[in-house]
Structure 1
Amino acid sequence: MPRQSAIALTALVLTGFATAPVAEAGSGALPISPFAIEDSADFSKQIERELAARGARVALVFRSGRYREDLPEGVRYTHGAFWVWSEIELEDGSRTHGYAVHNLYHYAEDTRTSYLAQDWPLNFTRGDVIGEVGVILPSPEMQRRLWMMLATDADDALHQPDYSLISNPHDARYQNCNEYLLDVIAAATWETTDRDQIKANLETWFEPAPIRAGLFERLFGPSVDERIRMEDHRDAIRTTTFQSLANFMTQHHLSADTYEIRAAFLDRPDTPDRPDRHSPTG
């Protein structure tokens, strides 16, 4: 499926059980954010400055489109993407440098199918509802490999368009945004884009995060949200999260650091303790 560019992106609608890490909907829908667009823009610039100060050519950045109490235990973020230091052409034809954001999104209407999209830091922070992001900074060698893959669109070979909200990273049938990040990391690590080989390697070396679900959710989850597909799970529901990816990269010396960035605007005296929960989406 060809890579597509998205200008404005919507945050994902999640209900009940469907609060695992996800690819968010795209196709030009307006994002929903509890923050003023000026604050989101300031936050996006803050993240860019902090990444640039660390000399990051490629970083994995994660946001949450849901409030923390609405997420499963052990899950802090709902969407991850690659931030890549790039040369950017402006509307007047001049060129500058900044971060381009490489995502996997599911379509807004065909929610069981995903596509790859390159957009910008502001698109990313407009989908955030908590004013905090998680960052995994790959090692210098991993950044070099990832930069080459993303610059040449080699990651296209790793895209599985059949989407599941809670895809099992040990199974090749489905993929969500965080599993896409994992597959690209694995491809750069083992220097192969053969997905069957990547999945075999991950079965040995990667420990997914368990997602606890009661009997009701296991039986009726798919009827509540069509993005939930259970065929790739066996005895337990396990998926890719910020923390499981960070653990994998730290354990195998693929990362230089893992940390979180809090939006500076949250510390202003006029900022409420928490944004209004004006919408069930996120």
Structure 2
Amino acid sequence: MNRRSLLLALAALPAAEPALAQDSSAAGSAKHLTPPQAAAFGKALEKDLATRGGRVAMVFRSGRARRSMPEGLSYTHGAFWVYRDIKTDGGQLKGYAVYNLYQGDGKALPKDRSSLVQDWPTNFMQGSVEDDVAVILPTPEMQRRLLAVIDSPTYAAMHIPSYGLVANPFESRHQNCNTFVLDIVACAAWQTNDPDQVRVNLRKWFKPSVIKVDPLTRLIGPMLDGRLAVDDQDGPIVTAAYESIAPFMADNALSATSYSFQRPG
């Protein structure tokens, strides 16, 4: 592509993030819920998970308006919610801690890099722009295995710092929040801490989400935003999302249920 053609192509692209983007942003980027509303939403889900015996759950929020999301996707950011003892200034209480992969904020960490962050249900809900979240409740045995992985060195070892909005779950070049969640699920399911074995098993058993994108966006997107890297893609753009992780876990008897949870009120 010559310089003139490139400039014309750039001018034709929308100023906003291309619709193929997912979301692994920290809380605060969305303004849909006030802090009290986010806290109430988080508390309601905590109570629901507790009644279902959810020691470890996988929760997915919509960090982008659904009208701007790729076809077939309703949720963007996934994380683990773990019920455990939480230290406070006054002692200790029981509640849910949230384990996330977040992309950099462009200040302390570049946006095409990521970090593992533990925060809380209110933080998680503050990042939502919709009034529902999706939940995958693993089987009791998978909850036990997931907790063991989260509390082990394997959890951090599976982190790939290079952030990709549409990271390929079958490659180890880039990662986003949902491919990280899938990697931890794979470690627990197959009881391995070998990243290469995880990739082999996923290629055999996991059916990814396919992101439909026009050729121009695929070509120019990475030039505009490093997070849109597609150098790990060969053919259709594939990634992991709630819509592909939930059936994978159900088909392999790794989950007890999956469901949508609506914000009360």
With the length of structure 2 as denominator, give the TM-score of the two structures: 0.90
Cα offset for 1:115? 0.8
Instruction: Give the structure 1 partner of residue 146 of structure 2.
Output: 146
Cα offset for 1:18? 4.5
**Mapping 1:1-282, distance limit 5 Å:** 15-25=16-26, 30-92=28-90, 94-109=91-106, 110-265=110-265
Alignment partners' CA distance in 2, 1:159 and 1:15:
28
Structure 1 residues 27-71: Cα deviation after superposition (integer angstroms, max 9, x where no partner): xxx443222221111101001000011010100000011111111
Alignment partners' CA distance in 1, 2:38 and 2:125:
6
Aligned length: 248
CA contact (8 A) 1:83 1:102 kept: yes
Alignment partners' CA distance in 1, 2:152 and 2:185:
15
CA contact (8 A) 1:63 1:125 kept: yes
Question: What is the identity percentage for the equivalent residue pairs of Structure 1 and Structure 2?
Answer: 43
Alignment partners' CA distance in 2, 1:229 and 1:24:
17
Structure 1 residues 70-90: Cα deviation after superposition (integer angstroms, max 9, x where no partner): 111111111000000110111
Instruction: Give the structure 1 partner of residue 3 of structure 2.
Output: none
Unpaired segments of 5 or more residues in structure 2? 1-14
Alignment partners' CA distance in 2, 1:229 and 1:77:
20
Instruction: Give the structure 2 partner of residue 8 of structure 1.
Output: none
Cα offset for 1:223? 2.2
Alignment partners' CA distance in 2, 1:240 and 1:97:
31
Higher mean displacement: 218-227 or 252-261: 218-227
Structure 1 residues 177-216: Cα deviation after superposition (integer angstroms, max 9, x where no partner): 0000000000001111111110011011101110000111
Moved over 4 A (4+): none
CA RMSD of aligned residues (A): 1.4
CA contact (8 A) 2:134 2:261 kept: yes
CA contact (8 A) 1:103 1:118 kept: yes
Unpaired segments of 5 or more residues in structure 1? 1-13, 266-282
Alignment partners' CA distance in 1, 2:96 and 2:70:
30
Alignment partners' CA distance in 2, 1:32 and 1:52:
27
Alignment partners' CA distance in 2, 1:63 and 1:231:
27
- Secondary structure of the residue aligned to 2:192 is coil
